[in-house]
Structure 1
């Protein structure tokens, strides 16, 4: 079958989310895509290369969904709220296990992905905050660097979900509370009203 590079990475990403990084071999990828090993190794050097490119593809898809133009169209408060929902929905997939496997079995790739992930998430959040401030949803005096640092640090426990958390609170509630508090802490009165409307509509 003929795939574009993006289609190829999307399919392999689905495979990793179904069976995990560790459990998916190069042969499994070939069988799933119905391509020869020769073809696969012409595109990727090895398993590490596959994993790295798939992880970068996932990060790039986040960037594409959160351009300033799209943020303005959707609304900055809703964009942050949707990111929260996306994170919570991923808890029921093998996404957390993928990151655990990445750290344990592909440590060098993990270092690269963490660095790139930090850059992309910082870029996405900065874009959301800039649009939100410009449109009056977020406070002008917000220290963006500090807020982004705090949010990233608070959500960093997601990368350790293979280990039990020392808390009685369910993980989805923790994530929801962290992101909701983030939104409320940076919102103007207009932003708070928008936030409350989003929550009301979700309950309908």
Structure 2
């Protein structure tokens, strides 16, 4: 039990440091020091930083899937599902260092491949399902090409992490992603859906 607790503590602290400061800038020494333990202790659970990063990303992927599944189940309609996702993404991005994905892609390709697989398979299917739901509910335009729009949404979700794009903005990740998601949503809705967006926006502003 102590071993499991230690491993979970290391993962939790590593997630916190990586998300806040980026992955490259945090060493195993930094993690050990912040936890008041020796680096040798960390190596009892993780062979190297690469293995630790992989474990952190695996956790984040599973967490994302749990949130998405929950939002789909409890949402009133397809647009409500999107707004719930926006809340989740805003909270996550508010404390996320924009260099995280760049660091993963350049220095931890195996972990980055987990992100790509998650985006291209799981998130793509979540978006497709939401589009189909919105069309059934007459909230999304029936003539949209679901496959094209789903692929577009997957790609646009990664845009805030593009260093070139980010350097041109005077806004944080959360604000950029919110603008992109609202633009996407307004582009696919019917008049009925448009009115519902305004309703949910007013609701958000009051909370």
Partner of 1:123: 125
Correspondence 1:96-135 to 2 at 5 A: 96-135=98-137
Q: How does 1:23-42 map to 2 (within 5 A)?
A: 23-42=25-44
Task: Provide the residue aligned with 1:74 in structure 2.
Answer: 75
Q: Which residue of 2 aligns with 1:63?
A: 65
TM-superposed deviation, 1:198: 0.7
- TM-score, normalised to structure 1, is 0.76
CA RMSD across the alignment: 3.2
Q: Distance in 1 between matches of 2:129 and 2:7?
A: 27
> How many residues were matched structurally?
202
Measure, in 2, the Cα distance between the counterparts of 1:136 and 1:182.
Answer: 17
Change (3 A) 1:6 1:59: farther
CA gap of 1:26–1:18, structure 2 versus 1, over 3 A, is same
How far off is 1:140 after superposition? 4.4
**Deviation, structure 1 residue 46:** 1.3
Contact conserved, 1:129 with 1:144, CA < 8 A, in 2? yes
Deviation at 1:145, TM superposition (A): 1.5
1:117-162 CA distances to partner (integer Å, 9 max, x unpaired)?
A: 3323213323433443444433444422111112233343222237
Deviations 1:28-55 (A, max 9, x none): 3234445554543343221111112212
Deviates more, 1:130-139 or 1:181-190: 130-139
Q: Which runs of 5+ in 1 are unaligned?
A: none
Contact 1:48 1:106 in 2 (8 A): yes
Residue 5 of structure 2 aligns to a residue whose secondary structure is coil
